[in-house]
Amino acid sequence: MAELIVALDFDKAEDAYCLAKKIKGEVSWVKIGLELFLAEGPSIVKKFKTMGFNVFLDLKLYDIPNTIKGAVNSAIKTGADMLTIHLSGGKRMCEAALETCSMNNATIQIFGVSVLTSFDEGEFIGYQGKLSELVDSLAKNALDWGVNGIVCSGLEVEKIKNLAPGLKCLTPGIRFDEKNNDDQKRVMTPYQAVMAGSDYLVVGRPITKAEDPQAVAKKINDEIKKAMIAKNK
């Protein structure tokens, strides 16, 4: 069953708590990104865990292997359920993260960031090929290195599932309208993403900026259920 993750992209804990209270019961996962994490510190993760949420800590770590070990160890201590690192950090960096999890008997899932969904064709510095081909290559590496999943556009999920069937796919850039006007360039609707094979759908502004966040979250969950039924026919 695909799951919805709501991105708490706020700079104050109070605003994040307020939104979380509105969606509680409809949503089981929240995402804490750099903005909120840097504003409030690691304790913010524990507070949302106390509220009953699973926490996706989206820090997109990228550093030398030894530093990554320390950072992942600190992430584990917060109680986070999922953590992101950049696959472009290479094999040794990714394996350092996984080794730290193993040494701590941690259940935290490590997801690798492939290509940010804000990138359009030709914008990735130092790479002139198709972004989809770069994502395919990173997905194969992620599977070989033992990473739990990959962060990718919904447009890339179906091919990734064929290339690396054991890899979970987490999809940001989810919108009800494919012709959106924000900074997400490679987007999909909830129904399309689940039909493609996405395991987790990350949604921020369509929910956090809504007059009735819980109603929008319910609408997305209904779309997820509808797609799962269609896939299982």
60 tagged catalytic = yes
Q: Of 49, 60, 140, 226, which one is the catalytic site residue?
A: 60
Q: Which residues make Cβ contacts (< 8 Å) with residue 152, sequence separation at least 6?
A: 114, 115, 135, 139, 160, 169, 170, 171
Alpha-carbon distance of 137 to 93, in angstroms, equals 17
Written as one letter, the residue type at 199 is: D
DSSP string, 56-69: EEEEEE-S-HHHHH
Written as one letter, the residue type at 154 is: G
Q: Other C-beta atoms within 10 Å of 64: how many?
A: 11
First to last CA, the chain: 14
Catalytic residues: 60
